[in-house]
Amino acid sequence: MALKNAIDLSGRRILLTGAAGGIGAAIARACVALGARDLVLADNGPMDDLCDELAADGATVARHRCDVSQRRDNAELAAAAGDIDAAVACAGICPLEEDWADDPDWDQVFHRVMDVNVLGPLHLAREMIPRMADRGGGQIVLIGSIGGRMGGTSPIVQPHYIASKGGVHAVIWWLAQRAAPRGVLVNGVAPGPVATAMTATTDYPKDRYPLGRIGRPEEIAWPVAFLCSPAASYFSGSILDVNGGLFVG
Ligand SMILES: NC(=O)c1ccc[n+]([C@@H]2O[C@H](COP(=O)([O-])OP(=O)(O)OC[C@H]3O[C@@H](n4cnc5c(N)ncnc54)[C@H](O)[C@@H]3O)[C@@H](O)[C@H]2O)c1
């Protein structure tokens, strides 16, 4: 018997934080391209153009302004979102301007980065896992980074971001072990450098990259969408390295 295409998001309701960003918007577009017609998009920035574009492509989009670092915002988001099949925690920050050695305010920035990048996904998972378990299962994807694998690829990336993304990877493993017995699959994607607003001021010399370039947002979005699909039904605690061969291990 011929296999049915399982990388198909038809009928799935997908929640995504950081939707206004470069990778987040690409994930939303990939989900719609794979058949999703029901999206819940969250960000602390504007996303009207993206919502209009997705609606024109046939999707129903609910949008929420929220700060992912706030427990209450995540609780309100989850309550408003209703039944969710797959949730993606993509919101993140990577402040570049502070100097960890000399800036007296650097520690405050460290705490903010950890609040957004690590506590944010934990807040979302805390809301999502029981709701998904009650419905018989679900899928959660967290966005890590090559920085959490190898300490960063640019000298200007600060240790708060590196620590946060290493923390995200550990959190994926921690959550996966607890959620899988309840039918909820928690996985991650660890991108290498990708051309978005986050990297716009960073120089990435081509000769350092096995493919001669950094990644495009959609090259991260497709693997994330796959992890939201029935084709990923045996993935739990996996972190897909998507970096064009920059880190292998
Ligand atoms: N671009 C890269 O090279 C790269 C590499 C590895 C990992 N990542 C990760 O991918 C994810 C997306 O990054 P991107 O490159 O699309 O960056 P981006 O700056 O384009 O998008 C990040 C989005 O997160 C939102 N956001 C930030 N703080 C928030 C908060 N407190 N509450 C709600 N929303 C918030 C921003 O408004 C923005 O829309 C991040 O987690 C980032 O760490 C990016």
Residue 222 within a domain: yes
Mutation test of ligand 1: which of 69, 94, 171 has the most ligand atoms closer than 8 Å to its C-beta? 94
Closest CA to ligand 1's atom 22: 21
195 part of a folded domain: yes
Distances (CA, A) of 184 to 1, 137, 169, 213: 29, 5, 17, 35
pTM across the whole model: 0.98
What is the DSSP-derived secondary structure letter of residue 118? I
Tokens read off for 82: 């209703």
CA of 89 to the centre of ligand 1 (A): 10
Sequence-ordered list of residues with C-beta below 8 angstroms from that of 77, at least 6 positions apart, any chain? 15, 17, 40, 42, 64, 66, 124, 127
The answer to whether residue 87 is domain-embedded is yes
Domain-located, residue 42 = yes
Q: Percent of the chain, pLDDT > 90?
A: 91
pLDDT in tens, 76-105: 999 999 999 999 999 999 999 778 989 999
Q: Where are the alpha helices (DSSP H) in 151-228?
A: 159-179, 217-227
Residue 140 in any domain: the answer is: yes
How many independent structural domains does the chain possess? 1
Q: Is residue 1 part of a domain?
A: no
**One-letter amino acid of 181:** P
Ligand 1 pocket test: which of 15, 23, 204 has the largest number of ligand atoms within 8 Å of its C-beta? 23
205 pLDDT higher than 90: no
User: Could you give the percent of the chain with pLDDT greater than 70?
Assistant: 100
11, with CB counted inside 10 A (0-12, 13-18, 19+), is exposed
Residue 45 Cβ contacting ligand 1 at under 6 Å: yes
Could you list the active site residues?
A: 161
Which helix (H) or strand (E) element contains residue 189?
strand 184-191
Q: How wide is the angle at C-alpha 43 spanned by C-alphas 38 and 45, nearest 5°?
A: 125
Helix, strand, coil percentages for the chain (3-state, nearest 5): 45, 15, 40
Q: Would 225 be classed as within a structural domain?
A: yes
Nearest atom within ligand 1 for CA of residue 191: 6
142-157 average pLDDT score: 94
Q: Is 83 exposed, middle or buried (0-12, 13-18, 19+ CB in 10 A)?
A: exposed
Q: What is the mean pLDDT of the chain?
A: 96
Tokens 């998904």 correspond to: 132
Nearest residue by C-alpha to atom 17 in ligand 1: 198
Residue 5 within any structural domain of the chain: no
Could you give the CA distance from residue 63 to residue 49 in angstroms, rounded to a whole number?
Answer: 12
CATH code at 193? 3.40.50.720
| Domain region containing 23 | 13-242
Residue-level pLDDT at 243: 97
Q: What is the pLDDT of residues 36-49, one digit of tens each?
A: 999 999 999 999 99
Whether residue 184 is predicted with pLDDT greater than 80 in this model: the reply is: yes
- Whole-Å CA distances, 21 to 8, 85, 182, 246: 24, 22, 31, 23
Residue with CA nearest ligand 1 atom 40: 92
